[in-house]
Amino acid sequence: MKKGTRSVRSASARGPDPSARGRDVAVKVLSARGRTIAVAAILAGITCCLLPAAVSTSAVPVVNSIGKEMPADAAPLDQQVFRYTLVEPLTFDVSINIYEGQGALTLFERLVMLDKNLELVGAAANSWEQSSDGLRWTFKLRPDGRWSDGRAVTAHDFEYTYKRFLDPAVASPYAFFYYEIKGARPFNQGSVTDPSTVGVRAVDDLTLEIETEKPCPYLPFIVAFTGSGPVPRWQVEKHGVRWSEAGNLVANASYTLSEWQKGRQATLTLNPYYTGPHKGYLEKIVQIFTTGHPGTPPYENDEIDYLRVLLTDLPFIENHPTLKDELSYYAFPETWYLFFKTREPPFDDVRVRRAISHAIDREALCSVVLRNTGVPAYSMLPPKFPGSADASIQSVQAYDTDRASALLAEAGYPDGKGFPTIDFWIGKVNPQISYTAQAVQAMLGNTLGLRFRMRGSEDKVYRDNMYEWNIPMGLGGFNADYPDPNNLLGMVWRSQPRGFGRQDWRNDDFDRLIDSAADEMDHDKRMDMYREAERLLVEDVGGAFLYHNLTVDLRKPYLKGLEVNKFGYAMFSWIGIMHTQMYIARH
């Protein structure tokens, strides 16, 4: 990693004025009256020089290379460079390689995007509406939208992109995400081969229509998803899989890929043709590639401006004289839980599942084991999340060792006697997962006398066994793809056939509520359905919920623009427009 950027940024600091001594000598030879006037004049001049330019009403605002006016405390433009570490992407084609293309999230502007409050704002489209029957969404694109090569962004670009990632020949792993669109499922699964049957149509250059199988009130969140940005058809057809490399990639957002040094770093720079509502302040975003977590040294050495922190970093950071003050904690909707093979003993007995849910001290897990990087979870939806039942069901899975022991005894296993030793799957081990699993294992052993064999595995092995329902008890987590309860409740817990569902738990009343809520057009009624569904999930212990994860990072004090959102956090994420608000302040 290169050093030196820090020294450039601090070059604007003022040193001693070499003329100060001369001014002092000149003042001394003045008369008493003249001395007062001269000193006042000199001090006034010095004060004017030291005040920020924004204080002067005649100061010319500073704008960056695409015409965005910079904040008054912003550093010079040559210092507007944000550096962070990233595992090198395999591709920047994020629409079909979402897991391998994380570095491309800033390059492709979707029809709508998420702001700091995870609410929808216009982006490539400046308006959208649902038809009266709920089966058609119409998006009106901005007429000034441009690709980074100067071509117009049109509705045809989005139609091509959606049909491309649904094409089974392309094999996008997230194609299922768009099955709400009319004809998407049969086309993607190969039973229909005509792409014109997919309900995405460019009516004209600036109008895109999306038809759905049923009313879909959350479709705008789906089109705001990170994989829903357009791709340039002419470049894909010209360069094939190499279209997303530097020199070939064409972007439609505020940033474009200007350099990709394989094995070293990639540089994103402002797109000179972007005139949309989400212009960035930063002149450059530099992605420095690593093969894993680099620890704190690059951040301490001023080689990067931001670092995602792991649990194992915290003891050092919390005792460091300066780093401890640069920590930020924020929540992004993510829940960790235990799931069970509920159709076979011993977990087919709801009393066993309830006993386990009452035996876990979530407060101790979060404050002691996870060092406050989690918030106790008693249900799937985090507090303040749309549709969350929140406090009204907190007692259902509350920590209660007496109740836990009584339930297990009722199920025929007093003090754990006769309970089989169970395989406890935890997937690929990282510190947070490992510490959580060990704490849960100890709590269930100490309170209920239960014994488990811990099984770590690679992600693919874990996922394959999870979807085949081969895991008796597992530690699972789910990060929201979009801020609607259909995602966290429907996608995770609505029963599916073996091979498609994450676990075998099934509750017919829960399924009916989820299905009804999915196409309910009355918002308040819809949220009430989700609250009732969540209550059923918690009471029937489809999962024993553990904690809502908090992301922890280090941010340099001069990194500004990340404001506190309605949830009380200054969140940083690449999924929306938050990065366009960041800038480097004078320091």
Give the orientation angle of helix 32-50 with respect to helix 20-28, to 10 degrees. 160
371 has pLDDT over 60: yes
Yes or no: say if 362 and 547 are a contact pair by the CB < 8 Å rule.
yes
Yes or no: say if 539 and 576 are a contact pair by the CB < 8 Å rule.
no
**329-550 falls under which CATH superfamily?**
Dipeptide-binding Protein; Domain 3 (3.10.105.10)
Yes or no: say if 123 and 109 are a contact pair by the CB < 8 Å rule.
yes
Yes or no: say if 194 and 168 are a contact pair by the CB < 8 Å rule.
no
Q: What pLDDT does residue 292 have?
A: 87
Cα-flanking dihedrals φ and ψ of residue 244, to 5°? -95, 10
Top pLDDT among 162 and 94 is at 162
Per-residue pLDDT of 274-322, as tens digits, reads 999 999 999 999 999 999 899 999 999 999 999 999 999 999 999 999 9
Top pLDDT among 161 and 292 is at 161
Residue 257 pairs with which residues in a beta bridge? 268
Which listed CATH number (3.40.718.10, 3.40.50.300, 3.90.76.10, 3.40.1160.10) goes with 92-243?
A: 3.90.76.10
Top pLDDT among 370 and 52 is at 370
Model confidence, pTM: 0.85
pLDDT band at residue 6 using 50, 70 and 90 as cut-offs? very low
Per-residue pLDDT of 313-358, as tens digits, reads 999 999 999 999 999 999 989 999 999 999 999 999 999 999 999 9
If you average pLDDT over residues 525-541, what whole number do you get? 97
DSSP 189-246: HTS---GGGSSEEEEETTEEEEEBSS--TTHHHHHTSGGGS---HHHHHHHGGGGGST
Letter for the amino acid at 335? Answer: T
Rounded Cα gap, residues 99 and 251, in angstroms: 19
